[in-house]
Amino acid sequence: MIKPHASLLMAAMLAVPAVAMSDTLQLPTDATVDAHLLDVLTLSTEAPERNDLIILPVADGNASHSLPEYCVLIGNARLNGERIRLTTDSLTCIETDGSESEIYSGEISAAAYDTDGNFGIPACEDGSCRLTPDRTFQLRLASDLEIEQQDNPAARINEQRRQADGDGVANPVPADAPDPDDN
């Protein structure tokens, strides 16, 4: 027979992985995420590639998954025939819930696919390839994404500011003093 305190201990131990999982940004292999570029990208035979592009997620698209609203992905683009092949290297996301925020930052391996399902984005005319921020494409993950929540020093500072008993370092309760406007 299992004693009640042993049952509670086992339940607590089983709950720990679930709590840890909520502190992880996860997407499976082959998940798709709608995205667009922050700035205009122009490639040509004279300039066939560009690195360190800023890519942003698009909400309410047709992708299988979504990223937090506040995300930035860094990627590279290369001209390949009449298509732009775009890949990603890293991402940083901030997930907010009221006044709380969680930061995720790490590597991501994904490539852009057009709505036709083919690798790369058809964006070329007359020898010049141009991709504008209003053009949405899908990023397909090449491997599982699993990024642990990062330390958030701003959250600790904000917690200190919210302390109402005067112990907060950045926002102590003001001392009792006469109001200077009361003359």
What is the spatial distance between Cα 84 and Cα 122, in angstroms, rounded to a whole number? 6
DSSP 119: B
The angle formed by the CA atoms of residues 43, 47 and 52, to the nearest 5 degrees, is: 75
Confirm if 34 and 58 have CB atoms less than 8 A apart: yes
Q: What pLDDT, on a 0 to 100 scale, did the predictor assign at position 167?
A: 55
Domain locations along the chain:
24-161
DSSP 172: P
Confirm if 7 and 111 have CB atoms less than 8 A apart: no
- Average pLDDT over the chain reads 80
Instruction: Say yes or no to pLDDT of 3 above 50.
Output: no
Express each pLDDT in 18-37 by its tens digit: 222 358 999 999 999 999 99
Instruction: Say yes or no to pLDDT of 171 above 70.
Output: no
Q: How many CA within 13 A on the CB side of residue 122? A: 5
Express each pLDDT in 73-104 by its tens digit: 999 999 998 899 999 999 999 988 877 788 99
Only one residue has tokens 């590639």, namely 49
Instruction: Say yes or no to pLDDT of 177 above 70.
Output: no
CA-based nearest residue to 70, from 112, 101, 26: 101
Q: Which CATH architecture has domain 24-161?
A: Beta Barrel (2.40)
Confirm if 91 and 105 have CB atoms less than 8 A apart: yes
In this structure, the chain runs to a length of: 183
